[in-house]
Each structure stands twice: as structure tokens, then as C-alpha cells.
Amino acid sequence: MVSERRSSPHSDPAGHPPLIETLDRAGLRITGPRRAVADLIDARSGLFSAQDLLDDAGRKRVPIGRATVFRALDLLEELGVVERIELPDGGHAYVACEPAHHHHAVCDGCGRVREVDDHALTDAIAEIERHTGWTVSGHRLELYGRCPECRTTAPAEASRS
Amino acid sequence: MVSERRSSPHSDPAGHPPLIETLDRAGLRITGPRRAVADLIDARSGLFSAQDLLDDAGRKRVPIGRATVFRALDLLEELGVVERIELPDGGHAYVACEPAHHHHAVCDGCGRVREVDDHALTDAIAEIERHTGWTVSGHRLELYGRCPECRTTAPAEASRS
DNA sequence: GAGGATATGAGACATGGTCTCGGAAAGACG
DNA sequence: CGTCTTTCCGAGACCATGTCTCATATCCTC
């Protein structure tokens, strides 16, 4: 489980439109459970696990099946508005994000996640292709560290390279 | 005692010394099971899962407990000679590697893994730190694509950003 | 509305990994 | 070598995170 931290009850901290809109625009069925999951995600900020959503749902007395949460998450991931990321400790978490290609920086102080783009990385990959002979069709980059707010507070715990 | 010394078709692509030596040099106990796991890994190339090692062990009639395999893998990971990587499909796999910091490129044709270093990435990260105000203490980069041998054969399947 | 396509929920199953605990083996020492 | 302490091992229970199945409920279109 990923820790609980929410900011404003419903607003999209990073300015995303409500997730449910994405489903709608993609021409997918808007069902009660889907809407519920979308809302639960919108109400969070930063990292969360499927279990977190289930817990939230229980707390709010919104009955949703486990499988449904995973299915909704898959769907949203496919649409690019939710991403599953790997944590330094080997665990997983989900995070809502923009559909455009980007990477995530995860703060190990507060769990906040920030999107980062990667012009420089693109160049780096081109370079790698050039001298290894590989064709790189995809990549995954995650950054771990501390956000400006946490930088001055408690020291970070170990993180892997 | 396991007979078979690295019999893999593409053995030792990067010229690693036997893994068991790493344990020895680290001053850790060299026990039968640890040696067995080290040998099993040496005999492989590319990605493998804990289950693969267990299967190999069964095939060679080397009885090793599941927990022991995971413990040995943890140990080797701590020493930096084995790394656990995230696959594009969300699964995990292990791979033997050099202890120095680097990244992996995974071929989705043959499963081969190549180590890649990242001068350019280091610069890219410095750049990110500079204009986001974050302190990046660690990162994880994985590249997916096709190695030169597979590039000309069957087309790659989809892979994620 | 009615009907067919699709999604849902409950819970079994799968996978990958961790924990516990009694027993066994490694290494230190005399 | 024998004994002692420390560490490791194996078996299997346990756990977390997902996936699958299938009967039922729901959505959307006509």
C-alpha cells in the first residue's frame, strides 16, 4: 500500500480534467463503477495502489469489486491517463498523468509525483542506438529523489540507482 | 555439486567472472546452495526469473528450496551483480550484470540483455534538477527494443513508452 | 422500452515473494 | 578432531497483487 496523502478533496492538483471525461471521449461506456473509480482517483494526488482505491471506496461506502478496480485501472492505463510505476523498493503504484509521453519523478519524502519530459533523454537514446546497433522502441525512466518542499526536511532514505 | 559449467549458447557475453567469486570476495559464507544458485545463474544468459532457476535446479536434480533461491538472489542483488528489472508488460525478471551503475536494454526478440551506460542521461538529469528544483537521488532506466541480430527478423510487438 | 453487447461482483486461482521455525552446516577455536 | 556459536537451509504457511470465470446486472441503440 502506498501512503495516504490527499490534497484538495476534489480538484485536480495538476490540472487534469476529470478522468471520467477521458472515458467518455474515448467512446467507452460510462458505468457507475467506472465513474466511481475515476472519481476516487481524481480525489487523490500522488501515488496510490489498487488497494488504496478499494479502501477509499469502502470508507465512502461505495461498493466496488476488486476485479472492477483493476479493470478500470487497466482501461485508464491504456488510455494513457494513469500509469503504473515501479518503486525503488520493487513495489508498484499507480499515478494519474497526462497522456503525452513523459516520465515521473517520485518524491521519497511526501510521495508527490511530478511529470518530467525528456528531450535530452531522446538524444541520449539516439546516441545509444548509434553505437550499439540496437533499435530502441520503448523505454521507461523513473526518477527518485526529493521535491523542493521536502528537500529541506528529513533526509531521504536509501534509494537505488 | 553441480557439474555443468556455463553451457549457455551465448555464454558470458560480458565476461563476468563466476558469481560465486563475488560472494567469496565479499567475505560471505560460501555454502552449497549459494554456490548452486550462482552456478545456475552463470549457466544462463539474458533474463531469468526465480522460477526459471528453480526449474533448472529441478532438471539437474539439485534440490534447493524456493526461499533459498530468493535469499540468494537478494544477496547477489545487494552486491550489485544481479539486478531485478521491470519488463514492459509489468512483469519482473532478474539478470546478471556488472556492479557498476548502468542500465539495461532488453531485446524483445530474443530476450538478450545488454548493459548500456549513460553519460548523456546524467547530463539530462542534471538539467531536470536545475529547472524543477528537485534533488534526484536515484533513477531507473530500462530500454526495450531489438538487438542487431533480431532487428532483421520478425517485427517487434508493441512496447510501452 | 426491448434486446444484445458489455461490464460487474464474488470468489477461485495464479504468481511472485516473505516469514517462521526446527534442524543442519560453516567456521572459530582449543 | 570435537565442540560451540552463528548463520543458513528447507518446508510450507502466509501474503499481496493481479487475473479468470461465470452468472447476473447494466448500458446503449433501435
**Pick the residue with more confidence: A108 or B82?**
B82
The per-residue pLDDT for A7 is 39
By Cβ distance, the residue of B90, B120, B145 closest to A135 is: B145
Q: Which helix (H) or strand (E) holds B104?
A: strand B103-107
Q: Which of B52-61, B138-147, B148-157 is the least confident region?
A: B148-157
A155 — pLDDT class (breaks 50, 70, 90): low
> B7-25, pLDDT tens digit by residue?
333 344 445 688 999 998 9
> A46-63, pLDDT tens digit by residue?
899 999 999 999 999 999
Nearest to A83 by CA among B136, B90, B104: B90
Residues 6+ apart with CB under 8 A from A77: A83, A84, A94
Q: Which chain A residues contact residue B104 at CB under 8 A?
A: none
The per-residue pLDDT for A5 is 46
Average pLDDT of the segment spanning B76-89 = 92
What backbone torsions phi and psi does residue A99 show, to the nearest 5 degrees? Answer: -70, -20
Chain A residues at the B interface, defined by Cβ less than 8 Å, are 84, 86, 88, 90, 92, 101, 105, 107-108, 114, 116, 118, 120-121, 123-125, 127-129, 132-148, 151, 156, 159-161
**Pick the residue with more confidence: B54 or A123?**
B54
B6 — pLDDT class (breaks 50, 70, 90): very low
What backbone torsions phi and psi does residue B158 show, to the nearest 5 degrees? Answer: -55, 145
Domain annotation for chain B: domains and CATH numbers = 19-151 (1.10.10.10)
The per-residue pLDDT for A154 is 60
> A82-97, pLDDT tens digit by residue?
999 998 888 899 999 9
Q: What percent of chain A has pLDDT over 90?
A: 59
Q: Is the pLDDT at B145 greater than 50, yes or no?
A: yes
Q: Is the pLDDT at A23 greater than 60, yes or no?
A: yes
Q: Is the pLDDT at A158 greater than 80, yes or no?
A: no
Mean pLDDT of chain B: 84
Q: Is the pLDDT at A2 greater than 90, yes or no?
A: no
The per-residue pLDDT for B154 is 60
What's the half-sphere exposure (Cβ side, CA atoms, 13 Å) at B61? 2
Q: Does residue B28 approach strand D to less than 7 Å at its CB?
A: yes
Q: Does residue B67 approach strand C to less than 7 Å at its CB?
A: yes
Q: Is the pLDDT at A22 greater than 80, yes or no?
A: yes
Please state, in angstroms and rounded to a whole number, the distance separating the CA atoms of residues A28 and A41: 18
Q: Does residue B23 approach strand D to less than 7 Å at its CB?
A: no
Question: Which residue has the closest alpha carbon to D7 C1'?
Answer: B29
Q: Is the pLDDT at B111 greater than 70, yes or no?
A: yes
**Pick the residue with more confidence: A31 or A18?**
A31
The per-residue pLDDT for B127 is 87
Q: Which chain B residues contact residue A112 at CB under 8 A?
A: none
Question: A50: helix, coil or strand?
Answer: helix
Chain B residues at the A interface, defined by Cβ less than 8 Å, are 84, 86, 88, 90, 92, 101, 105, 107-108, 114, 116, 118, 120-121, 123-125, 127-128, 132-148, 151, 156, 159-161
Q: Which chain B residues contact residue A113 at CB under 8 A?
A: none
Q: Is the pLDDT at A153 greater than 60, yes or no?
A: yes
Q: Is the pLDDT at A70 greater than 90, yes or no?
A: yes
What's the half-sphere exposure (Cβ side, CA atoms, 13 Å) at B127? 12
Which chain C positions have some atom within 7 A of a protein CB? 6-12, 16-20, 25-27
Question: A53: helix, coil or strand?
Answer: helix
